[in-house]
């Protein structure tokens, strides 16, 4: 989501405000840092970066400095106090107001703070792209109303708001007309998507997938992030009927212990999570899964942790975003006693990541010799004269080729595993 917001700010700066981008901060007239406050570390980094930028301002008093995103939203007072040389404080829902905020900061010479949550106004005000990439993010909803006990997102991005169906379809049509082949639907809880038109017709996430797939220019659809409690029957049906929908799902579970899940207020048990997985597999037998995990949640015992490891083995997750629990002020979990030593948390995290890496390696080995379809994403960063593509199972494959293949959907055969990288050859069909 932050990547998306940063891209949109870049578009605004270049297409509406007349700026050019530079890789040299000394050369810049405007510097904006887009921030994340999901864990403490990210937040600390912001203030040290701002300290550096302050020095640039000494030589260049007209330099405009901005802080955008969730740290801006949560810490606007602290930023104004601790870093008064910051000119713009922009919340995640007001990035589209960047041109006006910029003008105001120039005329007022004071820190301009705009961290409101105006209902979905953001998307209508963002510039349309004249040239799109082969793969583009499309936000379908924003915010979260789940209030997991450890998480700041509902407070920083606000509660769930869905975009009107026609706005999404128009945006996607425009992207596809300009060359996009893959759409990645974006939102904190995409499958909580809910839109009701004036006649009372309701569109849920599954139905949205069917509407999108009417556009034959879309070759692939991915989405992130979904919540186990929001899968509707139409979504299961979509996995049965829509080949554009990839056979890979990132479905955060956080922990494999019911006790910890309850303390996290995730709203499901391990059995309920597994039942969602079972239904998805029934609809799409070759589907694979990745997940998010939090290790060392307050009160997590060795036994709880080993349940998470068992679950990872049961489901064979082959990728993860896994982190040590980070206490976030203002969240309910912040008042829980957190007595587990850091060294133990680090050991658990490493063990979890090693387990998933080894499952991933086994899966990579098992697909050598198989045929697959890859969407080519770009030049390989490791190998010369090779491009990198992704299979429907989200496996990265390097194949011989040049830039002109980017955006092509190719039939390939997977030939070898070299360290962690899979290689393949193009099949002439
Ligand atoms: N500490 C550690 N990880 C967190 N996440 C969210 N809040 C925290 C926190 N306080 C992780 C969850 C979530 C992902 C986006 O970030 O795993 O799924
Ligand atoms: Fe945070 Fe995700 Fe829980 Fe929402 S569902 S509160 S974004 S962890």
Q: What is the pLDDT of residues 207-232, one digit of tens each?
A: 999 999 999 999 999 999 999 999 99
Q: Which of 1, 2, 3, 38 best tests ligand 1's pocket when mutated (most atoms within 8 Å of CB)? A: 38
Gap from CA of 294 to ligand 1 centroid (Å): 6
Ligand 1 proximal residues by C-beta, below 6 Å:
38-39, 150-151, 252, 254, 292, 294, 323, 325-326, 328
Q: What is the pLDDT of residues 32-82, one digit of tens each?
A: 999 998 988 877 789 899 999 999 999 999 999 999 999 998 889 989 888
Q: What is the number of alpha carbons within 13 Å of residue 165 lying toward its C-beta?
A: 17
Gap from CA of 52 to ligand 1 centroid (Å): 28
**What Rg, from alpha-carbon coordinates, does the chain have?**
23
What is the predicted pLDDT for the residue at 129?
58
Q: Which of 141, 142, 145, 148 best tests ligand 2's pocket when mutated (most atoms within 8 Å of CB)? A: 148
What is the predicted pLDDT for the residue at 128?
67
What is the predicted pLDDT for the residue at 120?
62
Counting ligands in written order, the one closest to the CA of 144 is: 2
Gap from CA of 98 to ligand 1 centroid (Å): 28
Q: Which of 70, 149, 151, 228 best tests ligand 1's pocket when mutated (most atoms within 8 Å of CB)? A: 151
- The DSSP-derived string for 368-402 is TT-EEEEEEEEE-SSSTTEEEEE-TT--EEEEE--
How far apart are the C-alpha atoms of 267 and 145, rounded to whole Å?
Answer: 12
Cβ of residue 188 lying under 6 Å from some atom of ligand 2: yes
Gap from CA of 31 to ligand 1 centroid (Å): 28
Total-model pTM: 0.92
Q: What is the pLDDT of residues 89-116, one digit of tens each?
A: 999 989 999 999 999 999 998 899 998 8
Beta strands in 176-300 (DSSP E): 182-186, 194-196, 202-204, 220-224, 248-250, 288-295
In DSSP terms, 418 is beta-bridged to 421
Contact between 70 and 36 under an 8 Å Cβ cutoff? The reply is yes
Closest among 297, 280, 420 to 352, alpha carbons compared: 297
How far apart are the C-alpha atoms of 32 and 2, rounded to whole Å?
Answer: 13
How far apart are the C-alpha atoms of 395 and 389, rounded to whole Å?
Answer: 8
* DSSP β-ladder status, 141-142 and 161-162: antiparallel
Cis peptide before 225 (omega within 30 of 0): yes
- Is residue 130 scored above 60 in pLDDT? no
Contact between 25 and 31 under an 8 Å Cβ cutoff? The reply is yes
* DSSP β-ladder status, 135-139 and 202-204: unpaired
Cβ of residue 151 lying under 6 Å from some atom of ligand 2: yes
Q: Starting from the edge strand earliest in sequence, which strands make up the sheet with 88-90, in order?
A: 30-35, 64-69, 88-90, 112-114
Contact between 193 and 168 under an 8 Å Cβ cutoff? The reply is no
Q: What is the pLDDT of residues 387-405, one digit of tens each?
A: 999 999 999 999 999 999 9
What is the predicted pLDDT for the residue at 116?
84
């Amino acid at each position: 989501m932050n990547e998306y917001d940063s891209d949109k700010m870049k578009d605004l700066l270049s297409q509406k405000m007349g700026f050019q981008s530079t890789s040299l901060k000394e050369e810049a007239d405007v510097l904006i840092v887009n921030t994340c406050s999901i864990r403490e570390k990210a937040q600390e980094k912001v203030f040290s970066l701002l300290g550096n930028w302050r020095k640039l301002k000494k030589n260049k008093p007209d330099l405009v400095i901005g802080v955008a995103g969730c740290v801006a939203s949560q810490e606007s007072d602290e930023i104004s106090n601790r870093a008064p040389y910051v000119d713009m404080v922009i919340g995640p829902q007001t990035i589209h107001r960047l041109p006006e905020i910029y003008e105001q900061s120039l005329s007022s010479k004071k820190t301009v703070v705009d961290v409101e949550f105006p209902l979905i106004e953001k998307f209508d005000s963002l510039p349309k792209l004249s040239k799109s990439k082969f793969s583009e993010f499309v936000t379908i909803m924003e915010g979260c109303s789940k209030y997991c006990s450890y998480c700041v997102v509902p407070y920083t991005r606000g509660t769930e708001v869905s975009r009107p169906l026609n706005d999404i379809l128009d945006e996607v049509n425009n992207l596809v007309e300009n060359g996009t082949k893959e759409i990645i639907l974006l939102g904190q809880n995409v499958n909580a998507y809910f839109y009701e038109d004036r006649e009372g017709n309701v569109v849920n996430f599954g139905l949205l997938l069917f509407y999108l797939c009417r556009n034959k220019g879309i070759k692939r659809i991915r989405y992130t992030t979904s919540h186990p409690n929001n899968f509707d029957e139409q979504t299961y049906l979509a996995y049965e009927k829509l080949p554009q929908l990839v056979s890979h799902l990132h479905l955060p579970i956080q922990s494999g212990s019911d006790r910890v899940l309850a303390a996290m207020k995730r709203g499901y048990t391990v059995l309920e999570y597994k039942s969602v997985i079972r239904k998805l597999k029934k609809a799409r037998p070759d589907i694979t899964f990745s997940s998010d995990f939090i290790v060392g949640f307050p009160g997590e015992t060795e036994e709880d942790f080993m349940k998470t490891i068992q679950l990872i083995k049961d489901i064979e997750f082959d990728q993860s975003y896994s982190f040590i629990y980070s206490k976030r002020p203002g969240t309910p979990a912040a008042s829980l006693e957190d007595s587990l030593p850091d060294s133990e948390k680090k050991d658990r995290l490493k063990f979890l990541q090693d387990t998933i890496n080894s499952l991933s390696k086994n899966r990579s080995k098992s697909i050598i010799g198989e045929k697959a379809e890859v969407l080519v994403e770009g030049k390989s960063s490791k190998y010369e004269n090779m491009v990198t593509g992704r299979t429907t199972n989200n496996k990265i494959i390097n194949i011989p080729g040049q830039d002109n293949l980017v955006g092509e959907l190719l039939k390939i055969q997977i030939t070898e595993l070299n360290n962690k990288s899979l290689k393949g050859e193009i099949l002439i069909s």
